[in-house]
Amino acid sequence: MKNIFLPILLITSQLCYSQINLPWQGKKCAVVLTYDDAYNQHLDNAIPVLDSLGLKATFYITAFSTSMQTRMNEWKKLAVNGHELGNHTLFHPCIGGKGREWVKPEYDLNNYTVQRMVDETRMTNLFLHTLDGKTKRTFAFTCGDMKIGDSSFINGMKDDFIAARAVRNQMHKINEIDLYNVDCYMVNGETGAQLIEW
């Protein structure tokens, strides 16, 4: 949440078989651009650039974000225009503590139960459904956090999502990917050439 504009480049695990049955429609890989947290900058800066290039992206929405509270119709329009809305929780809870002083106690995963996390995430799915009418959705872990205490919470959400994106700079082959723990590369000021090199 600290970085204002943080696009994330995701090498997706989605199976894209062409008619001749090659993964990635015969290309070397597939790339998915994802943007987390629902910031105004996504509407003001990212969308115009993406639309000018004819590219679609996935926006992982924190439903109670300031931008959603004030510009909901624009987020809805984005979905109508073919961009994807993903679930990035209701209040963006993360594990607080040293180095994470910005995490408020009421949204600190140390103070959550798994059930609360599941409930808030389901509420976010319900909200996103009212924006785009979709019933299949993906999830992005907030701050990359996957556990509450010792318990992984994604297990309780596998009926709610078809995949979940982690925050981890790695790349796996199509047959090695765990759909509920998909790799991504975080992009924060890197050049186009650097991204291509990845």
**37 touches Zn ion by CB under 5 A:** yes
Instruction: Say how far apart CA 31 and CA 122 lie, in whole Å.
Output: 27
> Which residue's structure tokens are 């115009």?
48
- Beta carbon nearer to Zn ion, 51 or 91: 91
Block residue for tokens 């594990």: 95
Q: With contacts defined by CB under 5 A, name the span among 12-20, 41-49, 96-104, 142-150 that binds Zn ion.
A: 142-150
Min dist. Cβ of residue 125 to Zn ion (A): 17
- Piece of the chain touching Zn ion by CB under 5 A; list 32-40, 48-56, 155-163, 169-177: 32-40
Work out which of 36, 83, 120, 184 binds Zn ion, going by CB under 5 A.
Answer: 36
The residue length of the chain stands at 198
Q: Per-residue x/- mask for Zn ion, residues 100 to 139, rule CB under 5 A?
A: ----------------------------------------
Provide, rounded to whole angstroms, the least separation between the CB of residue 156 and Zn ion: 20
Residue 125 vs 142, nearer CB to Zn ion: 142
**Where does this chain touch Zn ion (CB under 5 A) — which range of 31-39, 74-82, 126-134, 171-179?**
31-39
Q: Which of 45, 60, 32 is nearest to 5 (CA)?
A: 45
Give the binding site for Zn ion (CB under 5 A).
Answer: 36-37, 142
